[in-house]
Chain A
Amino acid sequence: MKIGKFSANASVRAVGFAAAAALVLSACGGGDTATEEVVVEEEVTAVAEECASLTPVKLQLQWFVQAQFGGYYAAKDKGFYEEECLDVTILEGGVDIVPQTVLAQGNADFAISWVPKALSSREQGAAITDVAQVYGRSGTLQVSWADSNIKTSADLKGKKVGNWGFGNEYELFAGITKAGLDPAKDVQLVQQQFDMQALLKREIDAAQAMTYNEYAQVLEAVNPDTGALYQPEDFNVINWNEEGTAMYQDAIWASTERLASDADYQDTTQRFVTASLKGWIYCRDNAQECADIITANGSKLGASHQLWMMNEVNKLIWPAPAGIGVIEPALWEQTVTVALGTKNLEGATIVTEAPSPEAYTNEYVEASLAVLTAEGLNVTGEGFTPITVELKEGGN
């Protein structure tokens, strides 16, 4: 396992983390984890003495543990939640687990979900509120071979375009519509598997991919012509943030009713948002350590893939000019506009009417940012430079 480069502002602290990283690394190598656990337990008891009691909190994720949720795992492992007197249980997702439904049914206290999917659930009756928009950008790409010359959504005309369906297709459809094309007639849409073989085998011209996952999978595959891994130059990507049809993705959702009536829950939400954002700030400055924390928490992803994901997720968050987690009205409007106006092949839109004002609030995130700024943390990520991650074959 090789430790990648740290970002410029983190390199100073790198030495200090070497010891911690070594511990984590030895843990994944099947070494003795007892020492590490003891250390963590001591921290917990030390903090618990300051808190009257720890509030139990359940957080529902959309998927298995992976760097996509790095900040929450970092906040838990680095004790940020305990500092806020929270005892957070992170519930992993699965194929059929819908986080916003779990939250709305009261089976979790907070949930991570993409905004369009959550808006759709809201319209179907899930009373949930976006309390922190962690990802400021969309991570969805449309990847194609460089020789196909597909650089904007207009170039998709007449091409075989892969998409995942199930609500993941709206940015693509909005992009195609914006380019003056009809998604039903001018492109040939193909249901895509969750791997990228169809693109590599040239069965489709453009494939949907997340910057932090599927795009990396492509770059981890061996090019049979050269014997080396595929390079970014071999591909073109359409980025919906640049095309202007991007929709907000990972956000922290809370129960609308409990926010309105339950003072304890308001307080818990405040502390949860503060500690979570602190975790994300930590992952910005310590991408390698966060990737290792994720692996230590049971992720099966290879080391270079994990670090790539952490770094790409950081790029979706930072820099955050308004501060991490702040919902920017313009981007929220763009998300709602696409959700209202884009029809999928069945003629359905994500929502049929604009979401009510309780759909989001900046109240908690602004208070959290004030606390974090007072602690001397950089909440906007000004001057953020991503690290360079070298992907290995198979992501190992």
Chain B
Amino acid sequence: MNQRFAKGLVSAAWGLAAVGILIVLWELYKWVGETTNIPLPANYDDASMPHIWVILGGFFEPEVRGSDTAVWQTVAAGAGRSLLIAVGGFVIGVSIGLLLAILMERSQLAERSLLPYVIASQTVPLIALAPLVVGIGNRIKIGEFQWTQTQSVMLIAAYLAFFPISVGALRGLKAPTAAHLELMRSYAAKPNAILWKLRFPSSIPYLIPALKVSAAAAIVGTVVAEISTGARGGVGRLIVEYAREATSQPGKVYVAVFGAALLGLIGAGLVTLIDVIATRNLPREGVA
């Protein structure tokens, strides 16, 4: 336990050091730009690269003058909302991805006919997809339920998230060696039993990295879809709105960008949690 604690402390220290180094590099770049004549590739002035303390100050400014809400509160609320949408998209995407993988593993025909479309699906640019989803969504009304942009954004996030899972899980489900499969067959195991008792556990080493990629895709998908469709309330829209004010308040947009980055960290953290729970019974070494 003590050793683990020390290990955690060390990695936390490394994380903080990385942030510190980033801050130092940022300010160093500005300082080099301002005091020397060395030509630099990107602008270093206060409007393009505000000082770190200006950005930090931006967190605590009121969102609009006279309001009690500080920028960080709005961004936190927006990030929270985006996180919920991303988690929803992630869950939907992972479910669909797993179903597709199981289907493709079961049937050669399904694999041959579906896999090309699964891959092709990721080549559709968001700029074409977003208006389509929003447009069709506007027409959906079932009883009291009216499809809104929240659902559109979630669907786009799911669309980006299902791909890594379906490909990763397919690879994982096929991972058991012939010897393992033959053993199961010698027990006269039904395909479902093979799936749950053999294929699924042995796919976990492939699933975890796929889940990480998926989670990142869901979060990026949410933020980009919010920008693309203008969906209200999330951190993506805040980035667009604050970027418009960059002429006079360059620090503000960085607060929203920080919020988006925080989302990514939380997403990675959640998947690590899944990893720890899912792999707790697996041997630490020699995982195929």
Residues of A within 8 A of B (CB): 1, 28-30, 58, 63-64, 91-98, 101-102, 105, 107-108, 194-197, 200-201, 213-214, 217-218, 220-222, 298, 300-303, 392-396
Query: Chain B, 98-137, contact with A by CB distance < 8 Å: what is the 0/1 string?
Result: 0000000000000000000000000000110011001110
Contact A95 B246 (CB under 8 A): no
On whether the beta carbons of B65 and A64 are closer than 8 Å, the reply is: no
Q: Given the interface contacts A218-B247, A393-B248, does A29 sit within 8 Å of B138 by beta carbon? A: no
Nearest-neighbour CB distance to chain B for A167, whole angstroms, equals 15
* B64 close to A64 (CB less than 8 A): no
Question: Given contacts A63-B230, A96-B130, are A303 and B65 in contact (CB under 8 A)?
Answer: yes
Query: 7 A–B contact pairs at CB < 8 A?
Result: A95-B228, A97-B131, A101-B131, A107-B138, A107-B139, A214-B247, A395-B248
Which residues of A are found within 8 Å of B248, using beta-carbon distances?
217, 220-222, 393-395
Whether B34 sits at the interface, judged by CB under 8 Å, is no
CB distance from A143 to the nearest CB of B (A): 12
> In the assembled complex, how far is the CB of residue A220 from the closest CB belonging to chain B, in whole angstroms?
5
Partner of A195, one of B65, B130, B247: B247
Within 8 A of A (CB), among B10-40: none
Cβ of B241: which chain A residues have Cβ within 8 Å of it?
Answer: 64, 300-301
Interface residues of B (CB under 8 A from A): 43, 45, 47-48, 63-69, 126-127, 130-131, 134-136, 138-139, 227-232, 237-238, 240-250
C-alpha spacing A308/B241, complex, angstroms: 17
Q: Is the CB of B138 within 8 A of A194?
A: no
Given contacts A107-B138, A194-B244, A197-B48, contact A94 B68 (CB under 8 A): no
Given contacts A94-B230, A201-B45, whether A195 and B244 have CB atoms under 8 Å apart is yes
Q: Determine how close the nearest CB of chain B comes to the CB of A221; give it in whole angstroms.
A: 4
- Give me 17 other A-B pairs in contact (C-beta within 8 A), A91-B138, A300-B242 excluded: A63-B230, A64-B237, A92-B230, A92-B232, A93-B230, A94-B134, A94-B230, A94-B231, A95-B229, A107-B135, A197-B247, A220-B247, A220-B248, A221-B247, A221-B248, A303-B66, A395-B245
> Is there contact, CB below 8 Å, between B229 and A94?
yes
Whether A29 and B135, one on each chain, are in contact in the complex, defined by CB atoms closer than 8 angstroms, is: no
A396 and B65 form a contact (CB under 8 A): yes
CB distance from A190 to the nearest CB of B (A): 14
Q: Known: A64-B237, A221-B248, A395-B248. Contact between A96 and B231, CB under 8 A?
A: no
Given A201-B47, A396-B65: A196 touches B134 (CB 8 Å cut-off): no
Please measure, in the bound complex, the distance between the C-alpha atom of A98 and the C-alpha atom of B131, giving whole angstroms.
8
Does A97 lie within 8 Å of B134, measured CB to CB? yes
Q: Quote the shortest CB–CB distance from B50 to chain A (angstroms).
A: 12
Q: Which 5 A-B pairs have the closest CB atoms?
A: A94-B230, A396-B65, A107-B135, A217-B247, A221-B248
Q: Is the CB of B243 within 8 A of A194?
A: yes
Which residue of chain A is the closest to B47 with respect to CB atoms? A197
List residues of chain B with CB within 8 A of the CB of A220. 247-248
CB of A331, distance to nearest CB on chain B (Å): 29
How far does the Cβ of A348 sit from chain B's closest Cβ, in whole Å?
A: 20
Q: Complex formed: what's the CA distance from A105 to B43 in Å?
A: 43
